[in-house]
């Protein structure tokens, strides 16, 4: 019995590590990166081609906002036929958005959507004013499949999470 009691903590630790390694990746991720300075170095910034207007720039390697901060969403069809979405952020995401939109005003925020099939650079948006309400909108550029995946993960704004 003493032998089993000594083995139990080790077996539980191994089971925990196995469970961490076997976790299923999310069906879709959304990341918001802010424009960085080229002099920040490779450890903090990476080069990218922005589309609005088209130019070479750098973005921070760590996203300012990620899907972990999204509480709810509202999708809509854009004038160009693609889809847009408004995300309501949790308190941490609201604060991250306020800090990024204040500190990086005049720069760009670049949105990436990642699915199991690949990465899609959706849009780069000019940061023209501080955003304090915790709602960030991607005005266009998403596909119907991306919206369908997002709607499986996040409730509509105003509805409770399933």
* Distance in angstroms between the alpha carbons of the first and the last residue of the chain: 44
The candidate with the shortest Cα–Cα distance to 112, out of 102, 104, 120, is 120
Confidence of residue 80 (pLDDT cuts 50, 70, 90): very high
Please provide the average confidence, as pLDDT, over all residues in the chain.
Answer: 87
Higher per-residue pLDDT: 5 or 56: 56
Q: Tell the residue number behind the tokens 């309501």, with chain if given.
A: 88
Say whether pLDDT at 136 is over 90.
yes
Lowest mean pLDDT segment, chosen from 2-6, 50-54, 79-83, 87-91: 2-6
Average pLDDT over residues 12-24: 51
Class of domain 24-153: alpha beta
Report CA-CA distances (Å) from 107 to 57, 64, 69, 124: 10, 13, 22, 10
Average pLDDT over residues 85-109: 97
* Residues 30/113, Cβ–Cβ less than 8 Å: yes
Token pair of 69, please? 């901060």
Cβ-based neighbour number of residue 72 at 10 Å = 18
* Residues 97/134, Cβ–Cβ less than 8 Å: yes
d(CA 118, CA 142) in angstroms, rounded, equals 14
Share above pLDDT 70 across residues of the chain, in percent, rounded to a whole number:
83
The candidate with the shortest Cα–Cα distance to 98, out of 127, 130, 137, is 130
Average pLDDT over residues 88-97: 97
Length of the chain: 162
d(CA 145, CA 149) in angstroms, rounded, equals 6
């Amino acid at each position: 019995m003493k032998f089993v009691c000594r083995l139990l903590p080790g077996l539980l630790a191994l089971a925990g590590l196995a469970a961490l390694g076997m976790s299923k990746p999310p069906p879709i991720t959304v990341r918001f990166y802010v424009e960085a300075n080229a002099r920040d170095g490779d450890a903090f910034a990476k080069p990218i081609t922005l589309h609005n207007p088209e130019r070479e720039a750098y973005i921070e390697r760590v996203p300012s906002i990620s899907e972990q901060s999204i509480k709810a969403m509202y999708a809509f069809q854009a004038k160009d036929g693609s889809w847009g979405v408004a995300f309501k952020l949790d308190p941490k995401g609201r604060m991250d958005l306020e800090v990024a939109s204040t500190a990086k005003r005049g720069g760009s925020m670049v949105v990436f959507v990642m699915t199991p099939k690949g990465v899609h650079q959706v849009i780069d948006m000019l940061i023209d004013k501080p955003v304090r309400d915790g709602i960030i909108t991607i005005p266009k550029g998403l596909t119907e499949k991306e919206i369908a995946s997002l709607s499986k993960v996040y409730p509509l704004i105003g509805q409770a999470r399933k």
